[in-house]
Structure 1
Amino acid sequence: MENLIVAVLSKKRPPAVAGYIVCCGLVLAVLGLEHLFPPALHRYLPFLPVVFFTSIFFGRPVGLFATLLSATFGDGVIGLVFHRRSPAADELLFLVLFVVVGAAIAVVIEALRSAVCKLLAAEAETSLLLDELAHRTRNDLMMIASVLGLQAMRQSDPHAREALESAVARVRVIAEAQERLRKSGKHGEVEVASYLRALGHGLAELLRDVRPIRVRVLATPMYVDAPVAVSIGLIANELVTNAFKYAFPDGQGGTVQITLESTGDGVALSVEDDGIGVAPSKKDGLGTRLVQLLASHLGGTVHGTPRERGHGVKVLLPIKPAATVLAAVATDG
């Protein structure tokens, strides 16, 4: 109902001539109905919907015209003038009340329409500014990633090169979130399944080199707040990067699968590989600690998942998606 009222008030009005014609027709129709079916209440009351309708669809001038026309015909004012009879006190009171109420309806609806149009214009301007801001932010982040990538290529120290490449991947995660935010049409929300598919494809191209490693994404399309989407993307980035780094040594191939699904308590993000697994004595690195930090920031937990071959990590996040769009979609990168 609210959307309907906003749509009517913001819609371009028909020509004023059409409004006056419709107004006259409605007043005559009410007079005809009152002649056939005498109203149980005062005769002016059936004319109030006419004033309301014409004010909404044709504007204040037509609404005021409907008020005066209804007041003139509604209670036999013309007959009083014709017979040169003064109206009784109660007739005059009802006439004045009807004119005041009708004029107030026309004026208030006009003010409401003006406010709605201003709000819609402000919303459109804000949407444009946010879109431009997201676009510029994404371009700035991609420029930073390019500079870091060039620095990584020039490094002879493998540890420094690895640190810079990790930084490039993290910056690209945030840049991709900005791009998804800009294209989503829902400012403040990101469709996280397509976001993860793009990240998975980008990580596969960036990390696998010539190794036959495939990144598979199985995700339920859903909208989440942009900061949450960035955190999910960073978690997936760290887990996939760890899988590429440790699960497939010596040029081995395999599959890394990213799974995102909605659960009764929130959202579950899993990253599994079919590589050599993780040694029990292996200490947590920076990527693992970052995953735990991001998960705890969202109130979530990180668990290792047992597999016959390879390694898996499941991150449970107690967040509620803004909307679930479609069934799960699987893609390979």
Structure 2
Amino acid sequence: MTPFLTTFLALRRRPAPLRYAGAALMVILSFGLRMALDELLDGYPVLQFFPALVLATLCFGVGPGLASVALSTVLALPFIAPADDTLTWAQQLATLPDRLAALPPKAWAGPCLFVIIGLVVVSIIAALHRALDTLAAGEQQQAMLLREIYHRIRNDLQSVSSLLMVAESRAGGVEAAELAKAGERVRVLGLVYSSLQRLQREPFVPARSLLEQLVENLAAAHATGRPITFTVEVEDVQLPQRAAVTLGLAANELLTNALKYAFPDGRTGTVAVRLATEGEQWVLRVEDDGVGLGPPSNDKDPATSAGSAEDSGTGARPPAGLGRLLLEQLARQCGGQLGQVSDGGVKAWMAVPATPETYRSA
């Protein structure tokens, strides 16, 4: 819900005395404006009160709105039956009942129409308030359900991660390594759903905090005590849930490959993680200055490539087995692109559409 509408909802929850006082103040200000513009508005005794009753009803609710209609009608009476300017205010007020009684019936048409229109306006705004209340209640319930869903998913992922850690501790060799990889992928999903739970709003994830946390976790797991420097440059964008999962898992795979293969034998180096909007794509880049993966590849950069994951081949040695298949599947699911070049290190990238509609229909 927009802040504009939220403000109106908040004002209507103020104590009743404050709301009625606010409505009365609006009407009195309109009366003062009518006095100041008496010559200009001559012949329009109630016109200036319409904005006051509309605003009073919008801001303070039906009760203050009805009160503003009544107060506006009373304050308009001196303008409906104007007095001689030579009379003092006290004399004008004293003669007001007689002046009103002397008015012909058609002179009351305008004031009666004002009251009728005012009541109709208040009724319409009351219906709007009911619709807004229903919308607010629906959004609150949706937010509560989303929090519960994200909380349960996160707990389930933590349970799976714990089971994988137990299995890893009991396994050995290749099996333990594969279980460790699976555990890291599950933890990436946990990061995404932790972000969603903290936001307590629409399913969008801040890219910067997601990737910074991911790099921090992988550095602690694989680079503790190693002379490797990490740089993270991430554009402050809000990623749809599916895009966050895709880019988070891709970053996990690419970073893991860099830490595993780029710096053997205690070699020093730098790993850079970048995410930026390029045209109509979000482009994730993971680059290292390590030993490389073999001969330079022919993958095109996403800035000049229009292909999909299926047609962006690589001449360099691909990430081993399941990791490469996972990357290709992630890119294919959202119509993205995947590639890498090996030249003075490895420069890998994944580009996905920067359109939320892509992930709603995925």
TM-score by length of 2: 0.75
Change in 2 beyond 3 A, CA 1:282/1:105: closer
Determine which structure has greater relative contact order: mean sequence separation of CA pairs < 8 Å that are 6+ residues apart, divided by chain length. 1
Question: Residue 216 of structure 1 aligns to a residue in which SS?
Answer: strand
Structure 1 partner of 2:124: 108
Residue 352 of structure 2 corresponds to residue 317 of structure 1: yes
Task: Tell me whether 1:287 sits opposite 2:329 in the alignment.
Answer: no
Alignment partners' CA distance in 1, 2:278 and 2:289:
25
CA contact (8 A) 1:256 1:273 kept: yes
The counterpart of 1:76, out of the listed 78, 81, 88, is 81
Among 191, 214, 222, the alignment partner of 1:199 is 214
What's the CA shift for 1:103? Answer: 1.2
Q: Which residue of 1 aligns with 2:308?
A: none
Q: How many residue pairs get matched? A: 318
2:175 is the alignment partner of 1:160:
yes
1:303–1:314 contact (8 Å) kept in structure 2: yes
Distance of 2:211 and 2:100 partners within structure 1: 83
Q: Given the alignment, which residue of 156, 177, 182 partners 1:140?
A: 156
Q: Is the 8 A contact 1:149 1:165 kept in 2?
A: yes
Q: Could you tell me whether the CA contact under 8 Å between 2:230 and 2:271 is conserved in 1?
A: yes
Shift of residue 123, structure 1, vs aligned partner: 2.3
Q: Which letter does structure 2 place at the counterpart of 1:276? A: V
Paired residue for 1:331? Answer: none
Q: Secondary structure at the match of 1:275?
A: coil
Tell me the distance in 2 between the aligned counterparts of 1:103 and 1:194: 52
Whether the 8 Å contact between 2:288 and 2:346 is mirrored in structure 1 is yes
Q: Which amino acid aligns with 1:267?
A: W
Question: 1:325 aligns to what?
Answer: none
Letter in 2 for 1:289: L
Q: 1:306 to 1:282 in 2, by over 3 A?
A: closer
Matching residue's letter, 1:317: V
TM-score scaled by structure 1? 0.81
Q: Which amino acid aligns with 2:245?
A: V
The 8 Å contact of residues 80 and 87 in structure 1, kept in 2 or not, is answered as: no
Residue 266 of structure 2 corresponds to residue 230 of structure 1: no
Distance 1:65 1:312, change over 3 A: closer
User: Conserved in 1, the CA contact under 8 Å of 2:262 and 2:292?
Assistant: yes
Q: Residue in 2 aligned with 1:13?
A: 14
Local SS of the residue matching 1:313: strand
Distance (Å, rounded) in 1 between the aligned partners of 2:26 and 2:122: 13
Q: Greater CA deviation, 85-94 or 95-104?
A: 85-94
Secondary structure at 2:41's aligned position in 1?
Answer: coil
- Counterpart residue type for residue 171 of structure 1: V
List gaps (5 residues or longer) in structure 2.
83-92, 296-315, 358-362
- In structure 1, distance between residues paired with 2:267 and 2:160: 32
Of 115, 123, 127, 2:139 maps to 123
Q: Give, in whole Å, the separation in 1 of the partners of 2:288 and 2:34.
A: 79
Residue number in structure 1 paired with 2:289: 274
**Matching of residue 299 in structure 1 with residue 299 in structure 2:** no
Deviation at 1:199, TM superposition (A): 0.9
Deviation at 1:101, TM superposition (A): 0.5
After superposition, the Cα gap between the structure-2 partners of 1:283 and 1:201, relative to the gap in structure 1 and judged at 3 Å, is closer
Give yes or no for contact 2:318–2:324 (8 Å, CA) kept in 1.
Answer: no
Structure 1 contact 201–215 (Cα < 8 Å) conserved: no
Within the alignment, does 1:177 sit opposite 2:179 as a pair? no
Structure-2 separation of matches of 1:84 and 1:178: 70
TM superposition shift of 1:189: 1.0
SS in 2 for 1:108: helix
Where structure 1 has 5 or more consecutive residues not aligned to the other structure, the ranges are 323-333
Contact 2:81–2:103 (Cα < 8 Å) also in 1: no
3-state DSSP of counterpart to 1:305: strand
Query: Which of 47, 51, 60 pairs up with 1:49?
Result: 51
The percent of aligned pairs where both chains have the same amino acid is 31
Distance 1:242 1:179 in 2: 25
| Deviation for aligned residue 1:251 | 5.2
My pick for the range that moved more, 207-216 or 89-98, is: 207-216
